[in-house]
Structure 1
Amino acid sequence: MTDLPHDDVFAKYPAEILIERKPHGVLLITMNRPEHLNALTMPMFDAMADIWEDVDRDLETKVAVVTGAGRAFCTGMDVRQADPTLDSAIALGKSERRRITTLLHMDKPVISAINGPAVGWGLSMALLADISVAAEDAVLADGHTAVGVVAGDHSSLIWPLLAGMAKTKYYQLTSAKLTGVEAERIGLVSLVEPRERVLDRALEVATNLALGSQGAIRGTKRSLNMGWLTSALPQHELSAALELIGFASADYLEARQAFREKRRPRFPSAHGEGRSVVVTGSSE
C-alpha cells in the first residue's frame, strides 16, 4: 500500500471509535460505546475494516493497540439493531474479509488490550492481534452457536492455531465462557494482568516494539503469518459463508428475539422445526 501523510488520516472516524496518538509511534484505537459494552453497529463494522488499511499506510504509526471503553472490550454485533436483510449480511461478509486480510497482510504489529468482556467478533478481533493482553477476570466467549450461527468471523481461523483443536471444539461448539486466566493457561491469549494493568501493559509492549528494529519485527510477523495466508484462509472462507447463511435462519432470529425478551432461545432446529430462511434482501 502507498504511504499517506498522517494529517487527518483518522479524522473520518466517528466518535464510536476513538483514535489517540501515543509517544514513539504507538496508536491507541478505542471502541467507544461503553453503555452497550462496545457492541458494534453495522457502520462500525465497516469502520473497523477501513481502519487497518489506514494504520498500515500511516507514516507515523509503528504499532497499534486496540481496546474498549469502560468495562468491556467488545461484545460483538449489537443485536438491538434491526433484523438483518440478506443484503446487509452479504455486506457484513465483505467487510469481514477486508478486516481479516488486511490484518494478516499488514507488517505493523497490533496488540489487543482485553480489558473486559469479549464475545463473538469482539473476541475474534482480540485474538487475531499479534499480541493479546487480557484482564484476569475478563469474560471471554466465542458465542456464535449460542445465537444460532456458525463460528465465523475470524474464530475458526485463529482458535485452533492458538489453543489446539480439542479446546477449540469445546469452546466453540458449546459457546462456554472462560476467564482471562484460563485463556492464558490454554494459550489463547499472550499475557494476563489485573484489570487495572491491562492497557498499561499493552502500551508498554507496544512502546518496546516501536523502539525496536522495525525491519526485523515486521519481517518476523510476515514470516509467521505466511502459514495462515497459505493454508488457513480457505477454512475461513467456508466458515464465513456458513455464518452468512446462519444470519438468514429462523434460529438466528429466534436468538435475537430471545435476547430482547431476556429469555433462553427456543431454536426451531432443536425442536424438529427445520432451519427455514426467513430474511429477504432488496431486489434493487
Structure 2
Amino acid sequence: MQPNYDRYKSLKFDRPHPRVIRITLTSQMKLGVMDPDMHRELSEVWRDVDADEAVSAIIITGQGKTFSAGGDLKHELKVAVDYDLRMQAMKETRDLVYNMLHCSKPIVSAIRGWAVGAGLAAGLLADVSIAAEDANFMDGHTKIGVAAGDCAMIIWPLLVSMAKAKYYLLCCERLTGKEAERIGLVSLTVPDEEVAEKAEQVAVSLANGAPAAIRWTKYSLNSWIKNAGPIFDASVAYEFMGFAGREGLEGMSAFLEKRPPEFPAQTVI
C-alpha cells in the first residue's frame, strides 16, 4: 500500500535510503512553531507510514537548525475560548502520542535546536532519539498556566525517574541535549553538524535488520509506556481544562505580551 503523502502540506518527505522515509517538519514560523495544520498532520502521519509497505524505518526531524518549539499560542488562545477547537486539539494531542506508540516501524528522531510541546512529544516518543549536544529541551506547560500534558506523563517518569520528571515538569527548566542524554531523556547526543548523518545511520541499520524481531521488540517495550495510558489521558484532560481557565488565559497572554504572568495565589481543585 502506498499512502498519499501529497495531502500533507506542513510535512515534507524524502527517502535517504530505499526503505527509510524521513519526515521533516516545515514551519513558516520562528523556531519551527506549529500551526494548527502541522499539529493535525503530525498526529495523522504515523498511520500512513505504518501502512507504507516500502518503509521499514522512519526519521522525524525539523527544518534547518530547529526541531519545533511547540504550538502557536495565538491559536491556543482561540482554543481556550472555543469548545470545538479545544476538543479537536485535545483529540490530536492524544492521537499524536498513541499513533506513534502503535506505529510498528521503528522511529528515529533527529533533534536540533528547540524541542518544546508537540515537537518535544514527537522527539521523545521516537524509539531512538538523537539530539545535538546543544539542543534545547523544555516542557513549558505550567509556565503558561496549564497542566503538563502532551507526552509528559506517559514518558518522562519512565525515562528520567520521578524525581527528575517532577523537577523539570513543575519548574519548566530548560535542559540541553548533553544534559538530556545524561539523565536518560534521549538515547544519545552528537555534535550539531552530525545529527542528520547519525540518524540516517541508525535508521538504515534498523531498516536492514530483521523486521519482525525489531517490531516485536518495539511492541513489547512500548507496553511499559502504554501502561501509563490512563495517567496520560487524565493529564491531557487537565491540560485542556486549564486552557479555558483563568490561569491558562493569563499565562498565554503574558507570554505573548512578554511580561510576567500574574497567577492567583490560591485556587480550588
**Distance in 2 (alpha carbons) for counterparts of 1:178 and 1:227:** 25
Of 10, 13, 34, which residue of structure 1 is paired with 2:8? 13
Is residue 140 from structure 1 mapped to residue 137 from structure 2 by the alignment? yes
Deviates more, 1:39-48 or 1:74-83: 74-83
Partner of 2:85: 88
Of 234, 253, 257, which residue of structure 2 is paired with 1:257? 253
Listed one character per residue, the Cα deviations across residues 209-251 of structure 1 (whole Å, up to 9, x for unaligned) are 111111111111011112322x210111110110110110111
Partner of 1:42: 36
For 1:59, what is the secondary structure of its paired residue?
coil
**Partner amino acid, structure 2, of 1:126:** G
**Distance in 2 (alpha carbons) for counterparts of 1:258 and 1:245:** 19
Is residue 73 from structure 1 mapped to residue 70 from structure 2 by the alignment? no
1:96 CA displacement = 1.7
Of 120, 124, 141, which residue of structure 1 is paired with 2:121? 124
Is residue 188 from structure 1 mapped to residue 182 from structure 2 by the alignment? no
**Partner amino acid, structure 2, of 1:255:** G
1:35 CA displacement = 3.9
Judged with a 3 Å threshold, the aligned counterparts in structure 2 of structure 1 residues 34 and 207 are, in CA distance, closer, same or farther, namely farther
**Distance in 1 (alpha carbons) for counterparts of 2:164 and 2:56:** 33
Are the equivalent residues in 2 in contact too, given 1:34–1:68 (CA < 8 A)?
no
**RMSD across aligned positions (CA):** 1.6
1:83 CA displacement = 2.4
Name the TM-score, length of structure 2 as normaliser: 0.94
Partner of 1:279: none
Of 164, 170, 174, which residue of structure 2 is paired with 1:173? 170
Is residue 233 from structure 1 mapped to residue 229 from structure 2 by the alignment? yes
Are the equivalent residues in 2 in contact too, given 1:24–1:210 (CA < 8 A)?
no
Judged with a 3 Å threshold, the aligned counterparts in structure 2 of structure 1 residues 11 and 95 are, in CA distance, closer, same or farther, namely same
Name the TM-score, length of structure 1 as normaliser: 0.89
**Partner amino acid, structure 2, of 1:10:** Y
1:21 CA displacement = 1.9
Of 198, 203, 217, which residue of structure 1 is paired with 2:200? 203
Of 111, 114, 128, which residue of structure 2 is paired with 1:114? 111
**Distance in 1 (alpha carbons) for counterparts of 2:113 and 2:223:** 30
Structure 1 residue runs of 4+, over 3 Å off?
A: none
1:170 CA displacement = 0.2
Are the equivalent residues in 1 in contact too, given 2:144–2:255 (CA < 8 A)?
no
Identity of aligned residues (%): 43
Judged with a 3 Å threshold, the aligned counterparts in structure 2 of structure 1 residues 198 and 32 are, in CA distance, closer, same or farther, namely same
For 1:227, what is the secondary structure of its paired residue?
helix
For 1:20, what is the secondary structure of its paired residue?
strand
Of 33, 36, 51, which residue of structure 1 is paired with 2:27? 33
1:255 CA displacement = 1.9
Deviates more, 1:25-34 or 1:206-215: 25-34
Of 227, 238, 244, which residue of structure 2 is paired with 1:242? 238
**Partner amino acid, structure 1, of 2:207:** A
Listed one character per residue, the Cα deviations across residues 239-276 of structure 1 (whole Å, up to 9, x for unaligned) are 01101101101111212222222122222x23x5x58x
For 1:107, what is the secondary structure of its paired residue?
coil
For 1:181, what is the secondary structure of its paired residue?
helix
